[in-house]
Amino acid sequence: MEIRMISKDSSSRRRFRKIILMFQLLFILFIFFWAVDLKAWKDRSGGLSISSDRPQNIKLPYPDDELFRIGRPGAYRGEQLKEIAFPLGGIGTGTISLGGRGNLRDWEIFNRPGKGINFPFTFFALYMESDGKKFSRVLEGQITPPYSAGFGYRREEVPGLPRFRTAVFRGEYPMAEVELSDPDLPVAVTVEAFNPFIPGDAENSGLPVAVLKYRVKNLTGKEIRITLAGSVANPIGFDGQGEFNSLFNAAFGQNINRVVKGPVSGLYFLSKKVQPDSPAYGTLAITTTWPDLTYVSHWVRGEWWDDLQIFWDDFSDDGQLKDLDAEEPSPDGRTDVGSLGLKATIPAGGEVVLPIVISWHFPNLVDYFDVVREQRGRLYHPYYNKKFRDAWQVAEYLFQNLNELEQKTRHFREVLFSSSLPPYVLDAVSSQASIIRMPTCLWLDDGRFFAFEGCSDRSGCCPLNCAHVWNYAQSLAFLFPELERSMRETDFLVNVRPDGAMVFRTSLPLGEKFWNFKPAADGQLGRLINLYRDWQISGDLNFLKKLWPQAKKALEYAWVGWDKDRDGLLEDEQHNTYDIEFFGPNSMLSGFYLGALEAGARMAEAVGDKKAAAEYRKILEKGKKNYETLLWNGEFFIQKYDQALQKKYQYGEGCLSDQLLGQWLAMVAGLGRFLDEARIKKTLESIYRYNFRDNFYDFANVQRTYALADEKGLLLCTWPRGGRPPLPFPYSDEVWTGIEYHVASHLIYEGMVREGLSIVKAVRDRYDGRRRNPWNEVECGHHYARAMSSWGILLALSGFSYSSPEGRLGFSPAINQENFRTFWSLGPTWGIYEQRLGQDRVFSCELGLEQGSFNLRELNIEFPATASSAFKSVSCRLGGKDIKAVARLSGKRLSLKFRQPVQLKGGEVLQLKIIS
């Protein structure tokens, strides 16, 4: 652009030049200070672009370089190995866990939890012969202290046999590995372990197997001869109750260890004593496709220490077992150990990978847990029983499909863990997805999915499908949505009574008898928000129409049970997830109600029920006004109740961490904000300010304790303005990871990224392998379902939005906006999203589909904070062809609406290029 000025005399021209020079100087100074400020900002954020609305005067417990460092989770060593138990097993099958040292522990395969069930004399060992020297080692790291047992360490765990000097554990669920090394040995060994896990493919993610691959590397310049031997005690007859720490038990007898040879070879464990209708009936197998084998069907049945002594001496002599395949049933009252050996020769500097599969099949699941006591004792069957007749058929299927299943599992793992997110975030998201495959969850042969809240050591805790706990859980809905939808069908088609009240705990068989207890307000209303989410994920309008009549009845029950004056607030007795009743209008449960009204209105519109939609919106508008007028105290939302009538178990003036739970569920479900944005942010700031503790040294808690001493954590409630009731609601002083995760992700949604990440990191610091097992977050039991709220962290950090009915996807990263990559999933449809801001100011985005298909009509993206949102052109290509779209810009958000739906299929990448 050229600007011409015409002056009357030279003096005016001189004055004009001075003005121009002054403006030029000011412009140069502006650019200089802008650059300095940008550099300082990037230094503070570790060079990351961060979307942030950070509150003032809040001290953060972690520096930015810890919070924002990108990478994969690190390794566990030394004392960190002690608590590790990495679960291996399928959906509804139970699991075996890989310990931090490489040991197998917690055999939870008997259709019930089994913490501490460690089979006697069950271990893997390696024989090595190199340059005339012989070595034998148990394939585990050293046993960690304490060693304080009164009669010495149990010999059934073979503690006196030599082990590798060092173990290093790495876990990226669903895959783990243990590196074993010893300076005295000529090899290094890596144990690789997994069970097939493929989002959207529940069938192949529900196999009762543990896959172990032993990678043995020759560290010498000469050839080495090795034998890998796996020894397993035959467990058939044990039903998962009590202990299996000895070969002697009245339940045993007539146990057979059968040697089977063929394309799949190994040991097949069964019993002729156990009847087919017994919970203890079943089979187990240890198998391989390795051709060069040695074996012994059962160890010597001797006295004192004869069995292990004879086996170890024989194995250590030359790595060759007796090749005994005698099928001799065990005497009554005892079982046997069998061993399978894989022999190999490794050239100098070479390596070999030896495959082992442990499979199981226990077809009878006894209902020991039913919430209706008279229903207990019936037998049901796990889903895998529908597909396989025994453990051997499971192994054959696994080996026939191993390459494909392993490739898909590894690909999912690589896509997820290549996301440009902090390692502790990836850890939180992935580790708690394992709950789907723990004994917390049941998948029965009719296809229905059921679940406890968590697990005691030997039984499920708090049956079944507890609505107010499973409200929080998000992992199942985004990874295996068809199973989540089966829970919605149970919620609405089975558990809604004629008056609209929902039974929030399920009894089996479905529909025969119901738990006689009051409905839970948060459970019932939260399930409506989840129903909307499930419809948005699936896009299945017929599914919504089938459930809508009962869903409508459940929503309108609020006018009978809790909101009789239809003012949008719940006033009457409200049972909830704290196992008590709140009274009067309160932030938590009325928030659920407002979210359910918004979800109900949208679903009603979708199915053509305009009258209901209008009524819901009318009450919603009243409720929003009343909620923000009556319950807002200037910093957060509270509870109003008659203290003369309700003496105990309320929160009143307290700052409740769950007060915006309904709003968070709405964000996850794609409903957006129904409360005032500024007040949402102020409330979240207050929750973080008042409820997050840097340590617990001076905190008095008489309730259950989940964080103590130097640990950090988020309390359920505090009373920063006073007014704590003498007896506040139970659990108020506790720390629950499921609540921590939803608060953290809500903070991130609202731009308080550092605060949110600080909470996530605090949780994972507590579950560090030394203090607690990283793959077992507890609350009312092990592997507690509420912890699957951790999936919300991935959703919030990626800014992932979705609507299958509308054909819409969107991404708005909260960190690393200039170079971002994330995994995203809608179950059978999942993929990768990437965006990059180039040096040439070209902003490029790629939406990749790794599996499934998606009918894309709209894509929403957001420019990085450091980029100009003014653009000259947008190009969109798929498979080398231009795609026509209409681009609309609103602030930093760019919406692309395609003139024709774009049919995205697995393996395809949609490419965008935006030139500023």
- Mean pLDDT calculated for residue range 884-889: 92
pLDDT at 28 over 90: no
pLDDT digits (tens, 9 = 90+) for 178-236: 999 999 999 999 999 999 999 999 999 999 999 999 999 999 999 999 999 999 999 99
- Burial annotation 89-121 (CB, 10 A radius, 16+ → b, else e): bbbbbbbbbbbbbbbbbbbbbbbbbbbebbbbb
How is residue 535 written in tokens? 């419809």
Give the largest Cα separation in the chain, rounded: 121
How far apart CA 493 and CA 489 sit, in angstroms, is 5
Q: For the domain with range 76-144+153-407, which CATH number is right: 2.70.98.40, 2.40.37.10, 3.30.1490.120, 3.80.10.10? A: 2.70.98.40
d(CA 719, CA 751): 25
May I ask the CATH architecture of the domain 419-798?
A: Alpha/alpha barrel (1.50)
Amino acid 252: pLDDT: 98
Residue 162: its pLDDT value, please? 98
Asked if residues 414 and 426 have their Cβ atoms less than 8 Å apart, the reply is no
- Domain 801-915 is found in CATH 2.60.420: yes
| Residue pLDDT, tens place only, 744-781 | 999 999 999 999 999 999 999 999 999 999 999 999 99
The predicted structure's pLDDT at residue 10: 45
Structure tokens that stand for 182 in this block: 């010893």
pTM, 2 dp: 0.93
Task: Kindly tell me if the per-residue pLDDT of 16 is higher than 80.
Answer: no
Q: What is the mean pLDDT of the chain?
A: 94
* Between residues 37 and 672, the one the model is more confident about: 672
Phi, psi of 623 (to 5 degrees): -65, -45
Structure confidence at residue 51 (pLDDT): 60
- What is the percent of the chain with per-residue pLDDT over 90, rounded to a whole number? 90
264 close to 359: Cβ distance less than 8 angstroms = no
How far apart are alpha carbons 756 and 746 in whole angstroms?
8
* pLDDT at site 163: 98
User: What band does 19 get if pLDDT is binned at 50, 70 and 90?
Assistant: low
pLDDT at res. 18: 57
Q: What is the mean pLDDT of residues 69-94?
A: 97
Supply the pLDDT for residue 22.
58
Hey, what long-range contacts does 54-60 have (CB within 8 A, 24 or more apart)?
54/751, 54/752, 54/753, 54/754, 54/755, 55/681, 55/685, 55/688, 55/689, 55/752, 55/755, 58/685, 58/688, 58/689, 58/755, 59/694, 60/754, 60/755, 60/758
Instruction: Give 773-827 pLDDT, tens digit per residue.
Output: 999 999 999 999 999 999 999 999 999 999 999 999 999 999 999 999 999 999 9
Name residues whose C-beta falls within 8 Å of residue 444's C-beta, 6 or more positions apart in sequence: 92, 365, 380, 381, 382, 383, 450
Is 70 exceeded by the pLDDT of residue 11? no
Position 66 pLDDT exceeds 60 = yes
Q: Mean pLDDT, to the nearest integer, of 138-167?
A: 94
Q: Which token pair is 366?
A: 């006894």
The percentage of residues in the chain with a pLDDT greater than 70, rounded to a whole number, is: 94
The pLDDT tens digits of the residues spanning 528-555 come to: 999 999 999 999 999 999 999 999 999 9
pLDDT exceeds 70 at position 30 = no
Cα–Cα distance between 594 and 663 in angstroms, integer? Answer: 8
Q: At residue 869, does pLDDT exceed 50? A: yes
Amino acid present at 370: D
- List pLDDT tens digits, range 122-152: 999 999 999 999 999 999 999 999 988 888 8
CA distance 727 to 731: 11
Q: How far apart are CA 716 and CA 706, in angstroms?
A: 12
Inform me whether the pLDDT recorded for 44 exceeds 90: no
Position 443 pLDDT exceeds 70: yes
pLDDT the model gives residue 20: 56
Q: What is the pLDDT of residues 570-601, one digit of tens each?
A: 999 999 999 999 999 999 999 999 999 999 99
Position 872 scores a pLDDT of: 79
Report the pLDDT value the prediction gives residue 47, as an integer from 0 to 100.
43
Interval 838-845 mean pLDDT:
89
Residue 322 CA to residue 337 CA, distance in Å, equals 14
Q: Give residue 841's pLDDT band: very low, low, confident or very high (50, 70, 90).
A: confident
Q: Using CA atoms, how far apart are residues 359 and 505, in angstroms rounded to an integer? A: 32
| Amino acid occupying residue 20 | I
- pLDDT for the residue numbered 23: 57
One-character DSSP codes across 780-833: SBBS-GGGGGGHHHHHHHHT-EEETTTTEEE---SB-TTEEEEEEE-SSSEEEE
Q: What tens digit of pLDDT does each residue of 287-302 get?
A: 999 999 999 999 999 9
Region 698-708: mean pLDDT is 97
The region, left, alpha or beta by phi > 0 then psi within -120 to 50, assigned to residue 150 is alpha
Q: Where would I find the H helices in 169-285? A: none
In tens, the pLDDT along 497-532 reads 999 999 999 999 999 999 999 999 999 999 999 999
Which ranges in the chain are annotated with CATH 1.50.10.10?
419-798
pLDDT at residue 34 is higher than 60: no
Residue 119 predicted with pLDDT over 90: yes
Q: How confident is the model at residue 647 (pLDDT cuts 50, 70, 90)?
A: confident
**Residue ranges, CATH 2.70.98.40, the chain:** 76-144+153-407
Q: What does the pLDDT average to over 554-579?
A: 97
pLDDT value at residue 368: 97
Q: How far apart are CA 463 and CA 445, in angstroms?
A: 18
Q: CB neighbours (10 Å) of residue 610? A: 11
pLDDT digits (tens, 9 = 90+) for 274-285: 999 999 999 999
